[in-house]
Amino acid sequence: MPLRISRKHHDELLKLALAAGNQECCGLLLGRNDRLFDIVSCVNVADNPEQNFELDPVELLSRHKAVRRGGEPIIGYFHSHPNGLARPSETDVAQAVADGRYWLIIAADGVTAWKPLSEGARVIGFESIPILVEG
Ligand SMILES: [Zn+2]
């Protein structure tokens, strides 16, 4: 089943990646099931933001609180690859949690979608998910 995202959000992701330059931009995907309703850009607090991303834990916590108050659920995460790699890196596999959420990767002027593949609780890779850009 494809992940459905609006043209507006798709273009916003490309702009965020471009604006971050040689650093990885990152953030959260809000929505329901296979439909993206909103994106939340977060500060990348990784030690080496050129090669890695780490969502600001303060922003992450406040978003979890918002969800509990009835806000849109978090259906995934996004980040960019300034090096152009249009698929998850080894680091992404190592960092991923088997939570069934979407990963969007912005690289080489395009957006690709992925979901962690796991054996038990261990993530062993990602599967490619088609994206349907609407509107
Ligand atoms: Zn990555």
Confidence check: pLDDT of 116 > 90: yes
pLDDT category, 23, cuts 50, 70, 90? very high
Pairing assessment for the beta strands 131-134 and 3-6 based on DSSP bridges = parallel
Task: Determine contact, residues 36/9, Cβ cutoff 8 Å.
Answer: yes
Q: In angstroms, what is the span from residue 35 Cα to ligand 1's centroid? A: 22
Collapsing DSSP to helix, strand or coil, 45 comes out as coil
Kind and range of the H or E run holding 47: none
Task: Determine contact, residues 130/113, Cβ cutoff 8 Å.
Answer: yes
Q: In a 10 Å sphere around its CB, with 0-12 CB exposed, 13-18 middle and 19+ buried, how is residue 45 labelled?
A: middle
Task: Determine contact, residues 116/103, Cβ cutoff 8 Å.
Answer: yes
- Domains within the chain, CATH numbers bracketed: 3-134 (3.40.140.10)
Write out pLDDT tens, residues 41-88. Answer: 999 999 999 999 999 999 999 999 999 999 999 999 999 999 999 999
DSSP class per residue in 69-88: TTPPPEEEEEEE-TT---S-
Give residues whose Cβ lies within 5 Å of ion ligand 1. Answer: 89, 92
pLDDT value, residue 17: 97
Catalytic site residues? Answer: 24
d(CA 127, CA 88): 10
pLDDT value, residue 55: 95
